[in-house]
Structure 1
Amino acid sequence: MKLLQRYILGELIRVFGLLVVVLTIMLVFVGLFREATERGLGPVQILQIMPFVVPSMLPFTIPATLLLSVCVVYGRISADLEVIAAKAAGISAMRMLAPAFLFGTVLAVASFGLTNYAIPWAVANIERIVTQAVEDIFIDMLRTQHLVSEPSRGYSITVHDVQNRTLIDATFRFRTHDHHQITVRAEAARIHFDLERQQIELKLRNATYSNPGADSFGDWDGTVLHLPLPPQIHATKARHLTVADLTEKTKEAVLQDEIGQIQQANEAAMLMLTGDFHQFGGKEYSQLKGANAEAVRNQRRFKTEIHSRVAMAFSCLFFTLVGGPFSMLQARRQFITSFIMCFLPILLIYYPVMFLMVNLCKSGTLDPTWSMWVPNGILLIAGAMTLRKVMQH
C-alpha cells in the first residue's frame, strides 16, 4: 500500500474510532432507557446489562458512522486540493478511494459478525439478567405478600413461606385450555424459570389436585407443573438468533409445513369420504390450516432474516462507494454539509426500500435471495455514477 493510501486509511480509522465511540455511547443510553422502560429494571439490573447493550448497538452505528468518517476525510483532502495534486502526480481517484473500499469491506464483515454472533450472545445475557431479576421479584413478592396473581396469564400462587427457591405450603390455581379451573396444593414446590420454553417450572412434592367443575381429584406428587412466564420476559426474536439457528429453524418450519399439508389433505379426504362437508369450517380443520399457515410464515421470516442480515451488513461497502466520491466531488471542509447531502437521500430512499423488501419477502411476494440486495443495488448505481464524474473531472 502506497504512502498516500496508508495516510488516508489511518485518517479513516482515527476519525471512525472517535465517532463510533461517541455515537455508540449515545445509543447505549437510549437502549438502556428502552430496556428499563419495557422490562421495569432497577439500577442494579441496568448496570448489569450495560456491557451487553454495547455490541447490540454497534451494527446500527457502524454504517452511518463510516459514511460520516468518509465524508470528513475525503471532504477535507479534496478541499485542501490534495486530490488535484494527487491526480497531477498520476494517482487516480480510484487508488485514493481504495482505502475507503478496503475499510468498508472489513467493517462489513465485522458488522455481520456482530449481528450473527455478538447480538445473540448479548441478548442471551440480557435475558438471563432479566430472568434473574423477574425471578427475584417473583420470589420476593411470594415471601412478603405470600401471593402472586397473574389474571392475564390465568393463574395465581399462594404460599405460607419461601425458603431459598422452595415454596412451602403452596396453592396453585390455574385455567386449562378448555377453561377448567384446577387447584393444586403442595407441601413444597421447587421453582425454576425456563426462558427457552417461556414458562415457570414447579416441581411438586406431596401434592394433590382437584377440579371442582369435573368433580375430579388425584395425587400429583412429583409432578412438574408448567405456568407461563410473566409478560416482562420476551420470546426470542429472529434477529436474536445466529444464522445456524435460523437455518435449523427454517428446516423445522419446512418439515412442519410438509407434515401439516399431509395432515390437512388426509383430513379433507376423510371429510369428503364421510360427507361431513360442514366440518371444513370446524375447529379441528381450522387448527390444521392455522398451523400450516404459521409454518409457512416462519419459513419466510427466517429466510428473510438471513438474507437481510447479510445485505445490511455489507451496506457499509456501498455507503463508502457513495460517500467517498460524493465528498471528493463536493470538496467541502464543512463535512456536516456533505454528510447531510449524502445521508438524506439514503435515509429517504435506502431504508424505506429495505423495509419494503423485508415486508414483501415476509409476505411471500418476493424472494429474499435477490430482493434484499435491491437497496444496495440502488447505492451501487448512485455510487458508480458519482465515481464516473470524479474520474472524469
Structure 2
Amino acid sequence: MKLLQRYILGELLRVFALLLIVLTVLLVFVGVLREAADQGMGAKQILQILPYVVPSMLPFTIPATLLLAVTVVYGRLAGDLEVTAAKAAGVNPLRLLMPAFVLGIVLAFASFGLTNYAIPWAMGNIERIVTQAMEEIFLDLLRSQHTISEPEKGYSITVGDVSPTGVLIDATFRYRNGNHEQVTMRASYAKISFDLENKQALIELKNARGRVPGRDTEMMLDGQVIPFPMDLQLTKPKPRYMTIDSIRKKLHEFESGIVTNKLQRNQEAAMAMLTGDFQHLASEQMKEYAGYTKFANGRRRRFETEIHSRYAMAGSCLFFTFLGGPFAVLQARRQFITSFIMCFLPILLVYYPVMFLMANLGKSGSVDPTWAMWVPNAILAVAATVVLKKVIQH
C-alpha cells in the first residue's frame, strides 16, 4: 500500500511541477513583462525584476495548479480502473487520496510562507529596481530633450547638456519656493543625485544666479540643494506587500493613535463645556479628531482582513485537494480536462466571488474577518464532504 501511495505522490509532484512552471511562465511573459515594457522599462530592468516577479506570483498560481494536477492524476487512475481494483482488494479510497491531502497541507504552509515573506521581499526589490530605472529615464530625458517640465508640480528644468557623470551643464531651473513664489535660477553647472527613499532628484547648484518676480534684488546661490520630485507613479505600500509582523506593528500604532485621539478629543470637549465655548465643539479641530478616528478604524479593519485572508488563502490548497481528488475519481470516464473544468468552474463562480465579498465586508467592518475569510473554504469543505461520501460508498 505504501508503494502505491508513493507512486501517486510521485505522479502528483511531477504533474504539479510541470503545470506550475508552464502556468507561471505564461503569466509572467504575457502579463507582467508586457506591463513592464508598457511603462518604459528596458530589457535590462525587466531581466532584473524577473527573479522577484516569479516568487511573488506563486501564491496565486499554486492552488489552481494543484487542483489541475490532482484532477489529472486521480482522473487517470480512476479511468484506468486502478481505483476500482484497489477498492476490490479492500483498500479504503481515503488511503489513495492521502498523498493529495498531504501535498495540500505542505503547499498550504509553503503558500503562506511565500505570501508573508516572499511577496514583501520581492516587491521591495522590484520598487528599488524600478526607482533606479527612473534615474536613467530622468537623465536620458534631459540628454535627449534638454528639458523636463512638470507644471502640476510647479517646476521645470532646462539644460544645455548632461555629462556622463550626471552633471547638468548650463542649467535653468524654475520652481516654487516655500512662499509659493516662482523662482528662476541659472547655474553654470549643477550636480544631480537621487534620493530613492523619498523619490526625489536632489540638485546642487553651483555659481547660480536668479530672481523672484516682484523683487529687485538678485539671488546668488552656491552649494544649495534643491529637491525636485520624480514622477515615479509607484504604488504606495499596501497591506499585501507587508509581512504580518509589520502589519501587527501598524495595527498597534493605529490602536494607540485611536486611544490618544479619543483622550485629546474628550479633554478639549470637556474644557470647551467648562468655559462655555460651545462653538469649539463644532470646530474644524474637533472634526479632525473624528476624521482621524474614522481613518484609523478603516486602516485597522483593512489590516485585520489582510492577516486572516492570508491564512485562508493558504488553506485553500488543502480544501482544493479535498474537492478535486474525490471529484476526479467520480468522473473517471471523462477526459481529465473536462473533470478539471467541471470542478474549477463552480470554484471560479462561487469560491472567488465569495472570497472577494467577505474581504470587502471585512474591510468595511460589516463582518468579523476572523471567521468571514474562512467562509469560502467552508463551502469547499461541505462540497468535498458530499463528493467524498459518494466515492467511499460507490
TM-score of the superposition, structure 2-length normalised? 0.87
Q: Kindly report which structure 2 residues correspond to 1:22-33, keeping only aligned pairs within 5 A, or say none.
A: 22-29=22-29, 30-33=31-34
| Structure 2 counterpart of 1:348 | 349
CA contact under 8 A between 2:55 and 2:122: conserved in structure 1? yes
Instruction: Indicate the larger mover: 197-206 or 78-87.
Output: 197-206
The one-letter code matched in structure 1 to 2:115 is T
Q: Distance in 1 between matches of 2:219 and 2:244?
A: 46
RMSD of aligned C-alpha atoms?
3.0
CA contact under 8 A between 1:181 and 1:213: conserved in structure 2? no
| Structure 2 counterpart of 1:82 | 82
1:253 equivalent in alignment to 2:254: yes
Distance 1:35 1:258, change over 3 A: farther
Q: Distance in 1 between matches of 2:271 and 2:175?
A: 36
| Structure 2 counterpart of 1:193 | 195
CA contact under 8 A between 1:204 and 1:221: conserved in structure 2? yes
The one-letter code matched in structure 2 to 1:108 is A
Distance 1:87 1:303, change over 3 A: same
Q: Distance in 2 between matches of 1:229 and 1:288?
A: 33
1:53 equivalent in alignment to 2:50: no
Q: Distance in 2 between matches of 1:299 and 1:251?
A: 9
1:137 equivalent in alignment to 2:133: no
Q: CA deviation at 1:97?
A: 0.7
Instruction: Indicate the larger mover: 263-272 or 337-346.
Output: 263-272
Secondary structure (helix, strand or coil) at the match of 2:385 reads: helix
Q: CA deviation at 1:165?
A: 4.0
The one-letter code matched in structure 1 to 2:255 is V
Secondary structure (helix, strand or coil) at the match of 1:148 reads: strand
1:8 equivalent in alignment to 2:19: no
1:309 equivalent in alignment to 2:310: yes
Q: Kindly report which structure 2 residues correspond to 1:236-251, keeping only aligned pairs within 5 A, or say none.
A: 236-251=237-252
Q: Kindly report which structure 2 residues correspond to 1:140-151, keeping only aligned pairs within 5 A, or say none.
A: 140-151=140-151
Q: Distance in 1 between matches of 2:354 and 2:200?
A: 38
| Structure 2 counterpart of 1:300 | 301
| Structure 1 counterpart of 2:119 | 119
Q: CA deviation at 1:135?
A: 1.0
Q: CA deviation at 1:228?
A: 3.5
CA contact under 8 A between 2:323 and 2:381: conserved in structure 1? yes
What is the aligned residue count? 389
| Structure 2 counterpart of 1:368 | 369
Q: Distance in 2 between matches of 1:170 and 1:279?
A: 53
The one-letter code matched in structure 1 to 2:193 is I
Q: Distance in 1 between matches of 2:213 and 2:61?
A: 58
Percent identity between matched residues is: 58
Deviation by residue 1:269-321 (Cα, 9 ceiling, x = unmatched): 55554636277263x44444333332222212222112111210110000000
Distance 1:224 1:363, change over 3 A: farther
Secondary structure (helix, strand or coil) at the match of 1:314 reads: helix
Secondary structure (helix, strand or coil) at the match of 1:149 reads: strand
Structure 2 unmatched ranges of 5 or more: none
Q: Distance in 2 between matches of 1:218 and 1:79?
A: 86
Q: Distance in 2 between matches of 1:215 and 1:286?
A: 44
Q: Distance in 2 between matches of 1:162 and 1:210?
A: 24
Q: Distance in 2 between matches of 1:120 and 1:218?
A: 46
Secondary structure (helix, strand or coil) at the match of 1:289 reads: helix
CA contact under 8 A between 1:135 and 1:193: conserved in structure 2? no
CA contact under 8 A between 2:131 and 2:232: conserved in structure 1? no
Distance 1:220 1:314, change over 3 A: farther
The one-letter code matched in structure 2 to 1:43 is A
CA contact under 8 A between 2:104 and 2:318: conserved in structure 1? yes
Q: CA deviation at 1:124?
A: 1.9
Structure 1 unmatched ranges of 5 or more: none
Q: Distance in 2 between matches of 1:251 and 1:43?
A: 42
CA contact under 8 A between 1:268 and 1:280: conserved in structure 2? no
